[in-house]
Structure 1
């Protein structure tokens, strides 16, 4: 049974064509995800298919006897309503029955109440309010009387998601449903969609989510749709095969084009016997060869500042808001190349902890001591504080007009933007014209261009396409510094972290060795606790008391006076910077010589020089780090 069909639809913005003559259909029971690069038009296509915006050409039709629920990326909600009022304002037979019952109770009319109760019985709506509260609670919304106008952006998205889930439509259309959900909520949504017999169409970049939920992947690439019957893993396999076939076809077309071009050039222009069919075929081939190009790839090859042996020491850190304890005597010493994931339900204090570590928020008590060489790069989940009417290139030039890459090469702001997949036209666009993913990519550039050696990443995967995520993962795997990550993308976290901080509530933080999947498997294997909440609270209070007795006062103790560099040491430090850079450049030259080959004597001499350079680099780098600690 066909639920939705689109025929020859097209959409463009100015001179830019997103897609043209696109055909699409979804049948009952399908669970389809649309994937593609940032800015390719996924959200626009989804909005057209949902009926939210019209196509420029073509027709979109829904089956008349089905209900459709649509979750927009930026939901438009009535701020005057409470959360429960907003949910009850939806469309379904059960919601209609609940509204009628609530109205009858308010009017205190026995006849009206009897009819409303019969309606509740008919649609099995007696436990519907409990279901509403359960779904909202699983998504992290517990105060159903809270005004919608007071909700954060993430809370609004979760309330909008709960509303379409509660309506239980025949066709569910979701745009990035996992954004702003914590890991437990994502797993709840996965289970809901897997056990639901409805039909699903969505846009998502969550690879685990796609693999578990979907039975069909549709890729939007260069204005065309490519459909793959299977989950995300199957899509990756078949896409690789398609690209290999296209590459072979392109090589074949190029060879044919070169031969035909020679033929066209040899023929006299005035000669009328030239085969017309061959000219037409040449023109068609020319379009194929010139129109097909390799997909661009993000290049994260930026320089990183050196990191000393002392990174960060967190001692007895505590923070609370009102009666809510977020952290209680948290202590940890960061080591070089630490890769830590931060796990916890929404509202547990993950972002608060990041802001205290980066100095943006003061703790109630405790001490954070940061090493002198630490240079934070803080990628926040909030939008960039950049005027929407500023051009993209101006945003980057405000930070730096020229930058150094890891190779030592110097690039301009325009060249760096090109590395980050912003072509010349896009560089001179205003910020407000960028897609959500393009804004996040620009934000990532602005963080990395400052050469950080300690990356603090708060939901870095939101709105980034899968290709960009893969490149970012490879960059972070080879990042020569510390990383602290908060993310709802389980695949991203599993690849990058070697242990996790688990915020368990009441200020308790568990340091678990392993990634998220390791922790989840361990957690699920634990016996369920049966003790009462009062007993648990008493034990928690006892533990807090014991920690306080063991540690004494939590007031920050005065730091010992730091050693100052003498004038001679200061000059030595400055000279070491230049000497290390010169040695690295010489090392690159020697490596080039070795790779290019030569006589045995030359190769031996270059190998010996390379060994000496490495020894000098080790000695000078250690001395530089020692001096840097005192700056």
Structure 2
């Protein structure tokens, strides 16, 4: 396989920091390479050097003749007077792009129907578009031009869950052709797993290469740490927890990563679940009482648009909800309604008397008041000690866990990068000891190591957590349940997680599709079972299931829940036996087979439960 591009002993320096130190690497025909690393570690500089827009301080970049390349930068800078047609299609005549299935698919996937109706039409000006719309336009233009080597810097920024899913499918399944390759920087772990055939980690001037996506990357790092025994204990524990999570798979996933390597099985055999949900709920109930938020028959309207229409959502102590939805569906507005910042047109909001609320917004202006202070002073200004995981922890210890190590705690807030400011913002919120935490797009500006640390901290945090994000991995890892705003004013519970949300959106977009069933409640323990479709008088089939069908569905739900409980007990016994026989290769092979059968059986039961739950009123 030929190299599309390569570096020979590349050296790159920014100020006093060595970003690349004698690095030699290459991209083979057909490879899709995901790039990870700390904020400021050199990921974007590496892409710029490969593209040729940044000169190396030493070494060289080898570009074979005839190989074209194009890059998506983090900032979408377009001529505000240009039209959508000019930006995306350039000089292509209408019969050229309209007759090309590849171009039509890109327009449909990123801009809506072929008329780009979602963006006001092909002849609408670019200047009036939002940040998310500009990202889609820039990405569409690059994909239409179809260079041999595609360089993407944080391509999922500003995209919703559907946009991320479409882009992953296009890059991994439909774009690949002979003579093409892809390099992309991302903090979206689901996207990395879905697209990458190889992963590069940029760290301390070096680029470490791993086969596969995020799951393989975590496994390789954890195994390397175990064998070499040189990684600090805290990092090793984080990797063990992350690998154990990948082994189990998120409850809502329909396909779960299964590593069948004896060393990996031995590494995580005795690793407990990421968090003890029962214990955390007990702590949360002590701190919060029985009530958190009761949103009943609520309607919220902004201008002429109804964002929430007669929605009921009950949120209890210790609940962890992820919220997904199309851009403009009202996710941030829902947060503001719960905080009492937006009045309800109708309905009621009851907030528990003991609720102490904190919200991680997308706005960093709240740090302006401490811009001249050091990081540690900005944290201790809020509180010097807090309780996390049932233990007292100092501000300095918590700062260290979130990446502010050593002398970095003495840095001025005004000198911090965007990602570091985001971390500081989160730290100050935690030190204020809230018992209800809202996170609005928490992945913005954060690298994967920081996200992993944030998840680790929140694993031991006892409170109610609400998260708005397009990051599927983060939603499944950090929350226990997901709900969706589908753009029709309804709030829908998602027992099947983000995959179910995407199925519902596809059903809405299908010709003749009338959209999913409307949900009037998403917070009670049986919320998934209460999402029955609203009957339509014009359609006799929409009148709902018969009494006999409802009884049978309820029996099925009860039976499957018992079977799932028994299956969980079986899985626990298998894990215990694995721990006891970790050095017996034959036993590990046999037990791994049993574990695979359990996973397959669980997936079948979950699908059966979902089908029955749809009928239950």
| Same fold per superposition (TM over 0.5) | yes
- Deviation at residue 530 of structure 1 after TM alignment: 3.6
Aligned in 2, Cα 1:196/1:245: closer, same or farther, shift over 3 Å? same
Cα offsets for 1:203-240 (capped at 9, x unmatched) = 11222222221111111222211112333322222222
Partner of 2:463: 481
State the secondary structure of the residue aligned to 1:5. Answer: strand
- Deviation at residue 34 of structure 1 after TM alignment: 1.1
- Deviation at residue 493 of structure 1 after TM alignment: 1.5
Contact 1:2 1:26 in 2 (8 A): yes
- Deviation at residue 460 of structure 1 after TM alignment: 1.4
Contact 2:508 2:514 in 1 (8 A): no
Contact 2:379 2:428 in 1 (8 A): no
Aligned in 2, Cα 1:434/1:169: closer, same or farther, shift over 3 Å? farther
Aligned in 2, Cα 1:209/1:249: closer, same or farther, shift over 3 Å? closer
Partner of 1:136: 110
Partner of 1:58: 59
Partner of 1:12: 13
Aligned in 2, Cα 1:352/1:480: closer, same or farther, shift over 3 Å? same
CA distance in 2, matches of 1:23, 1:408: 46
CA distance in 2, matches of 1:531, 1:30: 38
Partner of 1:346: 327
Partner of 1:217: 199
CA distance in 2, matches of 1:64, 1:83: 32
Partner of 1:97: 92
- Deviation at residue 374 of structure 1 after TM alignment: 0.7
**Is 1:446 paired with 2:428?**
yes
CA distance in 2, matches of 1:26, 1:424: 37
Partner of 2:589: none
Partner of 1:41: 42
- Deviation at residue 431 of structure 1 after TM alignment: 4.6
**Is 1:502 paired with 2:484?**
yes
Cα offsets for 1:249-305 (capped at 9, x unmatched) = 999xxxxxxxxxxxxxxxxxxxxxxxxxxxxxxxxxxxxxxxxxxxxxxxx9xx999
State the secondary structure of the residue aligned to 1:440. Answer: helix
Q: What's the RMSD between the two structures over aligned residues? A: 3.7
The TM-score with structure 1 as length reference comes to 0.65
Aligned in 2, Cα 1:433/1:196: closer, same or farther, shift over 3 Å? farther
Contact 1:22 1:225 in 2 (8 A): yes
Q: Which moved more, 1:519-528 or 1:448-457?
A: 519-528
- Deviation at residue 494 of structure 1 after TM alignment: 1.9
Partner of 2:408: 426
**Is 1:164 paired with 2:147?**
no
Larger C-alpha radius of gyration, 1 or 2? 1
Partner of 1:411: 394
State the secondary structure of the residue aligned to 1:319. Answer: strand
Cα offsets for 1:448-504 (capped at 9, x unmatched) = 121111111111123333233233323334432111111112122223333332212
Aligned in 2, Cα 1:331/1:467: closer, same or farther, shift over 3 Å? same
1:47-126 correspondence runs (5 A) = 47-88=48-89, 95-98=90-93
Partner of 1:196: 175
CA distance in 1, matches of 2:227, 2:117: 46
- Deviation at residue 327 of structure 1 after TM alignment: 1.0
Contact 2:67 2:148 in 1 (8 A): yes
Contact 1:440 1:463 in 2 (8 A): yes
Cα offsets for 1:40-67 (capped at 9, x unmatched) = 2222222322333333333234334122
Unaligned runs of 5+ in 2: 234-274, 276-282, 519-532, 538-617
- Deviation at residue 69 of structure 1 after TM alignment: 1.8
CA distance in 1, matches of 2:510, 2:134: 33
State the secondary structure of the residue aligned to 1:60. Answer: strand
Cα offsets for 1:297-352 (capped at 9, x unmatched) = xxx9xx99921222111122212334332111111221121121212111111111
Aligned in 2, Cα 1:154/1:450: closer, same or farther, shift over 3 Å? farther
Aligned length: 462
State the secondary structure of the residue aligned to 1:96. Answer: coil
Partner of 1:357: 338
State the secondary structure of the residue aligned to 1:367. Answer: strand
1:245-260 correspondence runs (5 A) = 245-247=227-229
**Is 1:471 paired with 2:453?**
yes
Aligned in 2, Cα 1:234/1:542: closer, same or farther, shift over 3 Å? closer
Unaligned runs of 5+ in 1: 89-94, 102-119, 252-299, 544-631
Aligned in 2, Cα 1:459/1:250: closer, same or farther, shift over 3 Å? closer
**Is 1:378 paired with 2:359?**
yes
CA distance in 1, matches of 2:416, 2:394: 23
- Deviation at residue 375 of structure 1 after TM alignment: 1.2
State the secondary structure of the residue aligned to 2:426. Answer: helix
Aligned in 2, Cα 1:450/1:83: closer, same or farther, shift over 3 Å? farther
The TM-score with structure 2 as length reference comes to 0.66
